[in-house]
Chains A and B, each alone.
Chain A
Amino acid sequence: AQTVTQSQPEMSVQEAETVTLSCTYDTSESDYYLFWYKQPPSRQMILVIRQEAYKQQNATENRFSVNFQKAAKSFSLKISDSQLGDAAMYFCAYSGTYKYIFGTGTRLKVLA
């Protein structure tokens, strides 16, 4: 069975600084997708970034980028130039055949 592990329950970052959130996963599948979702206090789940496993190039969306290490089964999220609006819960997710498996989340605090 696939698993997703986020080992950092909480992280803090100073405004304008860079922070990296960790995620590891376990799977025997060769074709899959990985996601990072943001959940602000509004409760809405917002897609931050998506990575296809067959792509070697790391996905990037503005200030958000990932470090995808397929052999190590690692998928970390880097947030550059952190902003107060980045404060939220962040969930890493794995998708193989239809099922989407989520990690337990990392709460990110942004300090002014």
Chain B
Amino acid sequence: IAGITQAPTSQILAAGRRMTLRCTQDMRHNAMYWYRQDLGLGLRLIHYSNTAGTTGKGEVPDGYSVSRANTDDFPLTLASAVPSQTSVYFCASSRPGGTPFFGPGTRLTVL
């Protein structure tokens, strides 16, 4: 792994299904973030984690949950997907005060 990876690249999901988006970084960054990108709205923070074992809510956390069991992984779970969660999801990581590095994104479509 070099940098930050996300899986899957894209996914089509039926409404009501559970889905976990995966994010892994190998830069030993303390902080990790999940954003969603929607046309005209830019990137909005869903959840973040300052360090392993801690998480916090961002601007649009409803319908999403995260966990941070270790430094490298920061999965995002949609417990019961709804069409309004159709978006492109970006994971990012950084050192404190550092430059965020972004993953390649996951395009999620909820039908």
Contacts and interface: CB of A to CB of B under 8 A. Distances in A.
A31 B100 CA distance: 17
Given A47-B99, A91-B43, A104-B40, A98 B50 contact: yes
Given A50-B99, A98-B31, A103 B42 contact: yes
Given A91-B42, A91-B43, A100 B88 contact: no
- Which 6 pairs across A and B sit closest by C-beta, in order of nearness? A45-B102, A104-B42, A102-B43, A102-B42, A43-B105, A105-B42
10 contacts: A43-B88, A44-B104, A45-B90, A91-B42, A93-B100, A98-B31, A99-B48, A100-B45, A101-B45, A104-B40
Interface in A87-101: 91, 93, 95, 98-101
Contacts of B45: 99-101
Determine the main DSSP class of B at the interface with A: strand
A33 B96 CA distance: 11
Contacts of A35: 99-100
Contacts of A104: 40-42
B97 A33 contact: yes
A96 to B, nearest CB: 9
Given A43-B105, A44-B102, A98 B96 contact: yes
B58 interface: yes
A104 B41 CA distance: 5
A98 B42 contact: no
